[in-house]
Structure 1
Amino acid sequence: MIVGIDPGQTGGIAYIDTASGASHAVPMPLMGKEIDGHELANALRGRSIDAVIIEKVHAMPKQGVSSTFKFGMGFGLVIGVCEALGIPYRLITPQAWKKVVLAGTAKDKDAAATFVRRAYPSIDLAPGRKSKPHDGMADAVCLAEYGRQQLKLEVTA
C-alpha cells in the first residue's frame, strides 16, 4: 500500500493498495484548528504500508510568521508520526509529483481533481455536503499515485 499525504490543515491522506488497486482518501484529521497527531497515527497504524509520500512543503513569501510556524509544526508532526510508527516515507516536491502525475496539464488544483476523477472515480473528493473538490485530498491521491508509479519502476528496474 502506498499512502500520499498533503500536510497542512486543509491537506489530506490517500491510500492506494498496490495489489488490489483499491483506493480511498480522507481530509487531514484535525482537532480544532490543528492537525490531530493521534488520529493521523490511527489512520496509518496497522496497515501494510510500503511507503508514505509526503509533499515537501516550505514557507511561502509574505506568509506571516505565526502561520509559517504553525504550518511547519504540522509538517513536522506528519514526519514524526511516520518516524514513530516506523513507516518509511519520502518527501517529494510539488514540482516533482506534478511533472509525473499531471504531465500535459496546467498542473494546478483543477488538474489534480480532474486526474483523480478520471483515474480513481470511486474516490469522493467532496465528502459530506461540500460542493467543491477538496484540494488536499486530490493532492494526496496524486502523491500516492506518484509513489505507486515510482515503486512500480523500482520493482521492474
Structure 2
Amino acid sequence: MWPRQWAAARMFAGTAKGFHIHPPAIPEGSDAAAWFRRLFIDEPGNFGLRPYEREQWDAMFFLQGIAEMILVDERPGLPRRVMRFILWGDDLPSANNAGVVIPAGVAHALRSASSQDLLMVYGTSTTFVPANEGRIASSVEAAPLPAVWQEYLDDA
C-alpha cells in the first residue's frame, strides 16, 4: 500500500474517535465471502488481486502520546476477530512504537490513553471520501457529562 493522501491530526487528552469502517471493493458479480477467502486465505501472496486503488486502507503513526486502538475484522467469510492494543508515540521511544495498517472491512476506533494530547500522521490509499466513512459506534465522540454530574445539574 502506498498512501495517496497524508494528513495529521490531534486528539486531545481523554478524547476518542468512535468505530468506523471503510467499505471493501468486491468485484461485480462476486460473493463477498468467496472474494475475501480468495484474497486472504487461498491466494494471500497474490497482491495483484488486491484493489487498493478502489478502497480505503489507512496507515497510522503516532508522534506523541499514547493511543489505545481497537480493530474488529468484519470482512465476510473471515473469522470475526477483535484486537485491542496500546501504541506509544515517538516521543516515548520503546518497543510499543509502531505503525498500523488497517484494511478496508476492518472497523477501528482509537482513544487518547494518557493525560497528553495524541498527535498522529495518517495516510489513506485513496483520497478521502466522506460517504465512505462508515460510522458504527461514534457517539462516544459526543463526550456527554458523566451521569452523576447530569443528575446533580438536573436537581439544581
Do the two structures share a fold, i.e. TM-score over 0.5? no
Q: Which structure has greater strand proportion? A: 2
**TM-score normalised by the chain length of structure 2:** 0.25
Q: Which structure has greater helix proportion? A: 1
**TM-score normalised by the chain length of structure 1:** 0.25
Larger Rg belongs to = 2
